[in-house]
Structure 1
């Protein structure tokens, strides 16, 4: 702005020297002074207008843009073609609008997740509870033909009660793992031996489903600082997921590997199985709480549909240990990996 004023003064000085001078008489001298002042003022404001009209127009566009954003259109972006301070202001306004948009979208997704959580809990708890009430009503009214049917009603009621308990246990475990109060009870554990124990326990369940389990564990012990019960829960959940959705007859492969990732080393527990392929969208949502893929994938499974929390719980446990759970899927081949850092966290 200073250089525009200087330019105006210089132009006015040049013009005043060009104006012809009249004989110096008192009233003529006053006339010359007034004429010079008017000429200077006219040229000053003309130069000021010409030199600042773009800046003023851009200030007006900034004001209009702020009004649009303040009206709720957070996707609107103010053009920022200038490289000066006003351009920087426009960039800051756009950045502010983008952050507000992300924050509002995050809150919207959080609210939607809460509603889905309530809906999922209601649906998953209501189904077995309705069956339990129905069977108990039949038993109370003695609506069975013989002892065999009585035993069947009691057995179905008991199985539904176990399913209800498992759902509540999963919900409790997930809630506990995702709060800030979650704590690990770490011990020095041979991870290879822990996986061997888990694999031995799953053999009867796998055989019942027509599944064989193949292991590839290292010959030497692999001692790590971890919470053995939580890691057992995470591996159990991956095993149960594989048992539910494997083709039958089929094979589940359990392996343990170590590898260098950058400057650090990590252990990877891999649970692999073959099943029906899923799409990219389903693959991205597998670890969401209460998310379930098409129930037809689990057709024939003796384990039911589950709570939809198993993979979320496994990922939460891995992240508490400083690791993660990820899936590599290719045309129906599923490779779930629990990755844990070998260094103590």
Structure 2
């Protein structure tokens, strides 16, 4: 059988957290990964003081009986829980405990569950409304022309909302599919963004918003996906028009600046709206996250626009930066490397 010295060397070579428990229920050894997880200097301490979870202590007891067993090990953190699957197995006169990190996997599973629940909720609300109006039109309002026109207008609004949601879901799926494929063809970003802004001028005029373009006088060619850059410009400018407030100015600026390692393309859209409280800013690019759900739905928002922008930025090796101040408006900036 391997001796204690060999087992300690074996522990040190393991990349995952691992420790040995002796028959006196004290930790014989722990590798650096285990000390990083459970604390430095844990060797020699009693298992109950280091591994406080009853489920884990039970798994170790079962391992002494010759049964390989598993248990969940959860450590609360400020932002999230750190979750490991602990496996205990008897090795000679010791029990070997190894810890497999499941944190990212479980967070992804939770994100998928939340995503399905959000999509279901977003679709169920307009569908319920449309079905209710159909039932009314086939019954009490069958002969009421005024009610029929009013209900049909609402049904059209709800149907258009579902179309926008499905469109954005498809766009998000396409962006995520290509996120690891960096674009290689070079295009004039100035022309792409200016064209997107021009197509939104009628919407700006209807909302009584002045659209001011700055820095669009010179062509700037870099490797981008033209459809996605157009989508970024459309999403950011359209949001600024919707939430910037009537009789205000929305400014879109395009510039090249020096970055820490290479020149950066900076595309910034600034509105003069109410601003966004600071605690919302880190979550604005999450799927379906809204500062004001009712207002967003009234404006035709799906809660996916900024998530799409963020993924497009990542695909191009860049990032989305959001800044806002209550009472002074917000700035949404796309930063892309020029190389």
- Same fold, TM-score > 0.5, yes or no: yes
SS in 2 for 1:334: strand
SS of residue in 2 equivalent to 1:291: coil
Instruction: Determine if contact 2:281/2:323 at 8 Å carries over to the other structure.
Output: no
Query: Counterparts of 1:111 and 1:269 in 2: how far apart (Å)?
Result: 34
Q: How far has the Cα of 1:316 moved from its partner? A: 0.4
Residue number in structure 2 paired with 1:276: 274
Note the 1:1-345 alignment, pairs <5 A.
60-61=44-45, 63-65=47-49, 67-68=51-52, 70-71=56-57, 75=75, 103-141=101-139, 143=141, 146-179=144-177, 183=181, 187-295=185-293, 298=296, 303-304=299-300, 306-331=301-326, 332-343=328-339
Helix, strand or coil: the match of 1:178?
A: helix
Computed over aligned residues only, the root mean square deviation of the Cα atoms, in angstroms, reads: 3.1
Higher deviation after alignment, 155-164 or 120-129: 155-164
1:169-212 superposed Cα distances (whole Å, 9 cap, x missing partner)? 11122123223677566543211111111111111111222211
Moved more, 135-144 or 328-337: 135-144
- SS of residue paired to 2:219: coil
2 CA distance for matches of 1:327 and 1:275? 14
- TM normalised by structure 2 equals 0.68
Q: Distance in 1 between matches of 2:181 and 2:153?
A: 38
- SS of equivalent residue, structure 1 residue 61: coil
Gaps of 5+ in 1: 1-54, 77-95
Paired residue secondary structure (2:312): helix
Instruction: Tell me whether 216-225 or 184-193 shows the greater mean CA deviation.
Output: 184-193
1:261 shift after superposition: 0.6
TM-score when normalising by structure 1: 0.67
Q: Judging by fraction of residues, say which structure has more helix.
A: 1
SS of 1:230's equivalent in the other structure is helix
Runs of 5+ unmatched residues, structure 2? 1-27, 30-40, 58-71, 77-96
- What SS class does the counterpart of residue 192 from structure 2 fall into? helix
- Mean CA deviation greater in 286-295 or 179-188: 179-188
Q: Does the CA-based 8 Å contact 1:186-1:228 persist in structure 2?
A: no
Alpha-carbon distance change, 186 to 73 in structure 1, aligned in 2, over 3 angstroms: closer
Look at both structures and tell me which one has the larger radius of gyration over its CA atoms. Answer: 1
CA shift, 1:125, in A, is 0.7
Q: Distance in 1 between matches of 2:259 and 2:164?
A: 37
Distance 1:314 1:174 in 2: 9
Equivalenced residues, count: 264
